[in-house]
Amino acid sequence: MRKTWPIFIPDSILKNIINQSKSAEKVLRYANGSPRLILLVLCLCLAEPAAITLWEALRGTLGVNPLEILIREPGRWSLILLLLALAIAPLRHGLILCSTWSLKSFGKRMPDWNWLIRLRRPIGVASFCYAVVHVAVYVYFDLDLRLDDFLDDFQNKLYIKMGFISFIFLAPLAFTSTDGWMRRLKRNWKRLHSLIYPVSLLAIWHFLLLSKPGVKEPYIFSLVLFFLLAYRAVQAWKRGFVLQDRIDGTVPERVVEKLTKYPDDSPK
């Protein structure tokens, strides 16, 4: 067994790795077989930041400027979840690559990680819900529902413009995220949902414009988005390359089948 590893690993450590990969395999099989349970756990996790902020608001422990926190926290979470939804495909890719080094066969195939791809839609919808709360708190508590003030802010503050445009584009993505819309829109569904890239760019821009000097978070988020977009660009380029080679007849059918059956951004 030691021969399968390029470096010497003591038997005790190897046994430990095998035992752990067995339990990981059990968990993964369970995750793939129980989508409802996974969804329930995910929903609880997604609701947690809202619940904590609400709890602190009710207890009056949000600090000296509670309104600022009430506006900023949902905006922050909306952006974090947007980036998380974009990170799922590269994460699955990375996990498959890691599994190729493991001794077990489970985890090496794309379908073993389908449950992970299923998390993407609820995460995207939660991102929109946080954006709705963010905008609602700003319009209701900060502007007192005054349309004039909103138009004034929209004209004079670039970050409000960017936030507004990203919100307007995010809305159709959330509303068409159901299976019914996916069937109705067919190929256009994917085209429509590629709006997620300009939406995340605008949201990051919104964040960068309003952040105070010395705050690192917007730059960290921008870097994360840069890597996620770079990953997408490389994947799209590779797919285009393989499909062109297929036209030339130089790529085996099984490679094309794998790429077209489980493209990274295919909805499941």
With CA atoms as reference, report the closest residue to 177 among 166, 189, 186, 194.
189
Nearer to ligand HEM (CB atom), residue 170 or residue 228: 170
> Residues 89, 123, 160, 196: which binds ligand HEM (CB under 6 A)?
160
Q: Per-residue DSSP letters for 68-84?
A: HHHHHHHHHHHHHHHHH
- Say how far apart CA 2 and CA 17 lie, in whole Å: 12
Tell which positions 201-240 bind ligand HEM, by CB under 6 A. 203, 206-207, 210
> Residues 28, 79, 88, 225: which binds ligand HEM (CB under 6 A)?
79
Nearer to ligand HEM (CB atom), residue 48 or residue 257: 48
- Say how far apart CA 208 and CA 221 lie, in whole Å: 9
> Residues 138, 173, 193, 205: which binds ligand HEM (CB under 6 A)?
138
Q: Is 133 in the site for ligand HEM (CB under 6 A)?
A: no
Q: Is 108 in the site for ligand HEM (CB under 6 A)?
A: no
Q: Which residues bind ligand HEM (CB under 6 A)?
A: 68, 71-72, 75-76, 78-79, 82, 131, 134-135, 138, 160, 163-164, 166-167, 170, 203, 206-207, 210
